[in-house]
Structure 1
Amino acid sequence: MPEGHSVHRIARQFDRNIVGRSVAASSPQGRFQEGAELIDGREAVAVRAVGKQMFLEFESELWLRVHLGMYGAWDFAGEILVDPTIASANGRMGQTNQRGTNLPAVFDDAGENSLTSIGAPRRARVHVRMSEQTTGLADEGEQWPPPVVGQVRLRLLTDVTCADLRGPTACELRTADEVAATIAALGPDPLVDDPATGEERFTAVVRRKPTPIGLLLMDQAVVSGIGNVYRAEILFRARLDPHTPGRDVPEEIVRGLWRDWTGLLAVGVETGQMMTMDDLDPEAYRRAMASRDDRHWVYHRAGLPCRVCGTAIVLEEMGARKLYWCPACQC
């Protein structure tokens, strides 16, 4: 499932390539035909990402709400103006404690380059897939608009840029009041809310809940954007047992969870990777950017030795999702 950093990256692509332009909308798959007809020909005027949801505003205060869910993804084609603050077609390195390292491009197994310096914005005639598992590049042919491939729920087309949506959990039109109500029901997002205010909200909620902290971190009403990968990694980095009731977690540790999420989210947006290991030397950082197996402390490492203590990493189900943790370090 795409986590919060992916949705913020997608919103930034929309801001640079779709917002401010009139959009031709269609639903090649047919499942969003009426909605596409309502926004067809309107100008996109604003975009917001909050947690795992994106809200694209069209003129006359009509909003498109998209939640990618487990399998959703946006594909961009045409002339893509890349945000210079994030890694996309070409990105700048942004992991904490790694700034200033001069490394050549590294493409991960999904085809994304997250290390080269980008400098000023640039246009490239490329195809960019924006989702957690499948971010990458492929040359696009000269045909315009590009042919529809697969089950496209919604196509948004400007004169030079195409955005195709596939497989979302939610794709619906909402009024401004409905969008405000949806956002109000979400927990704080470090890239949306004032960090200090968000920390207070998060801490207050967690500290009164008997629910295990491993479930609270996945509850989008408690904190926005954390998914399965970030949950496992944040808990390990805090050396916190995922079964601990929220109200029993010391306040300083709860605050540390929020601050760690704030930092990891910023790194994820900038690099395009859920990088959760710090203080890597240049070669280790290259490996981590190139391979997910070298990027995380415990996630997807069931049965393998803990990178810190050597104990076998445990895999269990919590909240209908897989949870990875170290029973020795997180006791």
Structure 2
Amino acid sequence: MPEGHTLHRLARRQQRVFGGQRVRVSSPQGRFADGAAAVDGMTFHAAEAWGKHLVHRYRDGDTERMVHIHLGLYGAFTELTAPIPEPIGQVRMRIATEEAAADLRGPTACEIYGPADLEALIARLGPDPLRRDADPDRAWASIARSARPIGALLMDQKAVAGVGNVYRAEILFRAGIDPMRAGRRMAREEFDALWQDLVGLMKVGVRRGRIHVVRPEDDHGAPAYAPDRPRTYVYRRAGEPCRICGTPVMMTELEARKLYWCPVCQT
């Protein structure tokens, strides 16, 4: 599932391509036909991200409508340029101008939203480190009173919005924190440092389109876990030597997700 930086990068890209233009919106697959008809011909006003959720705003005079998208595990947008071909495959939604188009396939959610729907979404999400209005005190309040492991809390979208498995594993390694430590055993100073590191790393992810987490002085030795990915400290490196101490990286499951850490560097 894409992590939060991917959604913010996607929102910025779609804002550049479609912002301020009247767009044609269709549902070649048919599953979003009524929703597409509701915004077809309107001006693409804005694209915004909250954690792993994307919201399009369309306007026509004083009328505003929103489309909420959650990519889930399989959702993705494909960009097209003129001459724009006919849709291929199961395209849930197509946004198009004369010069460009974006086809959405396989999302978990693609639906019309009203103001109350958006308010409810924001209310159930924790603060998003990539949003200027993020309040880290809200995340700290959720973490400080919880007996759940910090490794689980960072993945809980009600506590922090947008963090996925890669950022979870890597920021805890960089902070030297055992992912099994209970949230209520975290010191506020540790959380503040963790939050600031997360904000900085996710901003890099937005700029580069890839998750870069390894410090320059450590960016050598064993290759990345996949040919098209930058190196990581522990993510998907189970059994391989830690880049800092050489101890084999550990892996277990925590709340049905794989968790990676170094038992020596993270205490």
- 2:68 maps to which residue? 65
Q: Distance in 1 between matches of 2:4 and 2:142?
A: 20
Query: Is the CA contact (8 Å cut-off) linking 2:77 and 2:104 kept in structure 1?
Result: yes
Residues 76-225 of structure 1 correspond to what in structure 2 (within 5 A)? 76-78=79-81, 144-194=83-133, 198-225=135-162
Look up the equivalent residue of 2:208 and give its one-letter code: T
Query: Is the CA contact (8 Å cut-off) linking 1:72 and 1:166 kept in structure 2?
Result: yes
Question: Structure 1 residue 145: deviation in Å?
Answer: 2.0
RMSD: 2.0
Query: Is the CA contact (8 Å cut-off) linking 2:46 and 2:56 kept in structure 1?
Result: yes
- 1:122 maps to which residue? none
| Percent sequence identity over aligned pairs | 48
Q: CA 1:293/1:55 → structure 2, altered by over 3 Å: closer, same or farther?
A: closer
- 2:266 maps to which residue? 330
Q: Distance in 2 between matches of 1:220 and 1:15?
A: 25
- 1:304 maps to which residue? 240
Structure 1 gaps of 5+ residues are 79-141
Query: Is the CA contact (8 Å cut-off) linking 1:61 and 1:175 kept in structure 2?
Result: no
Question: Structure 1 residue 280: deviation in Å?
Answer: 4.2
Q: Distance in 1 between matches of 2:236 and 2:161?
A: 22
Question: Structure 1 residue 61: deviation in Å?
Answer: 2.0
Out of 249, 252, 262, the residue aligned to residue 316 of structure 1 is 252
Question: Structure 1 residue 150: deviation in Å?
Answer: 2.5
TM-score, length-scaled by structure 1: 0.75
**What secondary structure is seen at the aligned counterpart in 1 of 2:72?**
coil
Per-residue displacement from partner, 1:264-305 (whole Å, max 9, x unpaired)?
011000111100011248x85xx87x9456521001111111
Per-residue displacement from partner, 1:209-231 (whole Å, max 9, x unpaired)?
11110110001111111001111
Question: Structure 1 residue 325: deviation in Å?
Answer: 1.1
Look up the equivalent residue of 2:147 and give its one-letter code: P
**What secondary structure is seen at the aligned counterpart in 2 of 1:61?**
strand
- 2:212 maps to which residue? 275
Q: Distance in 2 between matches of 1:316 and 1:152?
A: 37
Per-residue displacement from partner, 1:108-128 (whole Å, max 9, x unpaired)?
xxxxxxxxxxxxxxxxxxxxx
Q: CA 1:193/1:186 → structure 2, altered by over 3 Å: closer, same or farther?
A: farther
**What secondary structure is seen at the aligned counterpart in 1 of 2:113?**
strand
Q: Distance in 2 between matches of 1:68 and 1:16?
A: 20
Query: How many residues are paired up?
Result: 262
Look up the equivalent residue of 2:249 and give its one-letter code: I
1:230 aligns with 2:193: no
TM-score, length-scaled by structure 2: 0.92
Query: Is the CA contact (8 Å cut-off) linking 1:303 and 1:313 kept in structure 2?
Result: yes
Q: Distance in 2 between matches of 1:151 and 1:304?
A: 40
Query: Is the CA contact (8 Å cut-off) linking 2:211 and 2:230 kept in structure 1?
Result: no
Query: Is the CA contact (8 Å cut-off) linking 2:210 and 2:229 kept in structure 1?
Result: no
Query: Is the CA contact (8 Å cut-off) linking 1:202 and 1:258 kept in structure 2?
Result: no
**What secondary structure is seen at the aligned counterpart in 1 of 2:103?**
strand
- 1:98 maps to which residue? none
Look up the equivalent residue of 1:298 and give its one-letter code: V
- 1:241 maps to which residue? 178
Q: Which runs of 4+ in 1 moved over 3 A?
A: 290-294
Question: Structure 1 residue 175: deviation in Å?
Answer: 0.6
Q: Distance in 1 between matches of 2:72 and 2:228?
A: 21
Structure 2 gaps of 5+ residues are none
Q: Distance in 1 between matches of 2:3 and 2:229?
A: 18
Q: Distance in 2 between matches of 1:265 and 1:303?
A: 27
Query: Is the CA contact (8 Å cut-off) linking 1:55 and 1:66 kept in structure 2?
Result: yes
**What secondary structure is seen at the aligned counterpart in 1 of 2:170?**
helix
Query: Is the CA contact (8 Å cut-off) linking 2:239 and 2:249 kept in structure 1?
Result: yes
Q: Distance in 2 between matches of 1:265 and 1:50?
A: 13
Look up the equivalent residue of 1:64 and give its one-letter code: V
Per-residue displacement from partner, 1:17-38 (whole Å, max 9, x unpaired)?
1121111111122221221121
Query: Is the CA contact (8 Å cut-off) linking 2:127 and 2:159 kept in structure 1?
Result: yes
- 1:84 maps to which residue? none
Q: Distance in 2 between matches of 1:259 and 1:292?
A: 27
